[in-house]
Amino acid sequence: MRVIAGEFRGRKLVAPEGMDTRPVTDRVKEAVFSSLGDAVVEAEVADLYAGAGSFGIEALSRGARHATFVERGRRALDALRQNLEAVGAMQRATVIPTSVERFLESGTATFDVVFCDPPWQLATSRLAAVLESLVPRLAHGALVVVSRRASDTIPEPKGLRIDAERRYGDTRIIRYAKEPT
């Protein structure tokens, strides 16, 4: 796992030990960021279910202003902090060691781009509820990128519309746009 482009290009990232997380492949990450284009430049980014922080660190490398990483797994948090230190991005990052649900209930920050890469065993209905609770935290014109198992049904949360959807092997990437209010 590595940073693909930008300021931290080529830097290797560590993955947490164990089977609790599933690192995103470089192919999928490159496709996601190609589709986002300049949307991450100067963006306020959230990386939910962050794991080792691959999506958020890539966004910082490509010019995001700040990234908030939400992760509750101890091993994943250790890898995430190690990766942020290794690329020198701690000053542009906030690590929130809690569940995504608790984070969304308690905060007020708004985001321009959100990456949501939950465990594949998370039920579609529960993911839809998480995405709906995210909507008030999205800036005007915000994009939400969700990674799911290709065979899973696509969540259709209120307040978001599917902007794009692609399959990469056993991974499906769904990009949502915030619906105008």
User: Token match 């908030």: residue?
Assistant: 68
What is the Cβ-side half-sphere exposure of residue 151, based on CA atoms within 13 angstroms? 3
Please check whether residue 18 lies inside any domain of the structure: no
Please check whether residue 42 lies inside any domain of the structure: yes
pLDDT tier for residue 20 given thresholds of 50, 70 and 90: low
Please check whether residue 40 lies inside any domain of the structure: yes
With a cut of 60, say whether residue 31 has pLDDT above it.
yes
With a cut of 70, say whether residue 12 has pLDDT above it.
yes
Residues of the chain with pLDDT > 90, as a percent, come to: 86
Question: How far is residue 22's CA from residue 5's CA, in Å, rounded to a whole number?
Answer: 21
With a cut of 80, say whether residue 79 has pLDDT above it.
yes
β-sheet bridge partners, residue 69 = 47, 95
Please check whether residue 170 lies inside any domain of the structure: yes
Please check whether residue 64 lies inside any domain of the structure: yes
Please check whether residue 12 lies inside any domain of the structure: no
Instruction: Name the pTM for this structure.
Output: 0.94
In the sheet that holds 44-48, the strands lie side by side as 93-96, 66-70, 44-48, 111-116, 138-149, 171-178, 160-168
Please check whether residue 93 lies inside any domain of the structure: yes
Q: Give the chain's domain count.
A: 1
Domain residues for the domain of 114 are 26-152+165-178
Please check whether residue 169 lies inside any domain of the structure: yes
Model pLDDT for residues 97-113, shown as the tens digit of each residue? 999 999 999 878 999 99
**Nearest one of 108, 99, 58 to 77, comparing CA atoms:** 99
**Nearest one of 157, 151, 100, 103 to 128, comparing CA atoms:** 157
What pLDDT is attached to residue 180?
83
What pLDDT is attached to residue 74?
94
SS3 at position 25: coil
What pLDDT is attached to residue 19?
47
Q: What is the CATH number of the domain that holds 119?
A: 3.40.50.150
